[in-house]
Structure 1
Amino acid sequence: MVVGTGIDIVEIERVRDAIFKNERFIFRYFTEAERTYWQSRSSKAESLAGIFAAKEAVIKAIGSGYMQDIEINHDASGKPFVQLSGQTAIKIAAIKEAVMHITISHTRLYAVAHALLESRCD
């Protein structure tokens, strides 16, 4: 059963500007693991914009949340997945058999992400 869905789109140029103009942006919105992943990528602004869009999409799917409680990771094949902590994880724990699905895509100008929160209970 679908519990919530969220989508977000981000202008990559705005993220690129934020990276170079305001170092606090990176530390305010991204976890250490996300920053490490971002540093390893050749398309840095695109990668960070995709992660930012995914975090926003997750917040919309849940209905609330904190950016630092939402971590976007990637498996060995590059598929993104969500790890939650703090109050956001507590909120999700109240949903029986909750599963969060995310997808991220980007073009030269925009990054977009979609999140789908489901309960596998009937």
Structure 2
Amino acid sequence: MIVGVGIDVVDVARFGESLERTPRLLERLFTPAERTLSLNSLAARFAAKEALAKAIGAPVGLNWQDAEVVSGADRRPHLKYAGTVAERVAELGIRTVHLSLSHDAGIASAVVVCEGEAP
């Protein structure tokens, strides 16, 4: 059963300007491993975190670093979560989180679909 769906798009140049204007934003939004990536990849990962937040109802107090985009053995992106995000995922009964990322023509996008057991 689909528990939640989220989608987000990010203008890569505008996102880069935000990171330059507010250097601490990089630390607030991304894990140490994510911080080493290119601007396109960072924008896509930010879109993924926003899409995940939408899919789980954007609860107050969600910590951005409690969700991390990682590449699996299959080279596809996956969301790894802990803390505030893991708590909300468990609360909603989510068993599987699907993630798709893209970046092209100055835009990064992400779609998240959360699946769980029927009530």
Q: TM-score, normalised by structure 1?
A: 0.85
Query: What CA distance in whole angstroms lies between the structure 1 residues aligned with 2:94 and 2:107?
Result: 33
Distance, in Å, in 1 between the alignment partners of 2:115 and 2:107 is: 27
- 2:43 corresponds to which residue? 49
The answer to whether residue 57 in structure 2 is matched with residue 63 in structure 1 is yes
Mapped contact 2:94–2:114 kept (Cα < 8 A): no
Q: Percent identity?
A: 37
1:20-99 to 2 correspondences below 5 Å: 20-36=20-36, 38=37, 44-64=38-58, 65-96=62-93, 98-99=95-96
For structure 1, the residue ranges without an aligned partner over 5 or more in a row are 39-43
Q: Which runs of 5+ in 2 are unaligned?
A: none
Partner deviation per Cα, 1:35-64 (whole Å, 9 max, x = no partner): 13x1xxxxx111110000000000000112
Task: Give the conservation status (yes or no) of the 8 Å contact 1:59–1:66.
Answer: no
Aligned pairs, number: 116
Per the alignment, in what secondary structure is the counterpart of residue 94 of structure 1?
Answer: helix
Match of residue 41 from structure 1: none
C-alpha contact 1:74 1:80 (8 A) present in aligned 2: yes
**Which runs of at least 4 in structure 1 moved beyond 3 Å after TM superposition?**
none
Displacement of 1:88 after TM fit? 1.7
More helix by share: 1
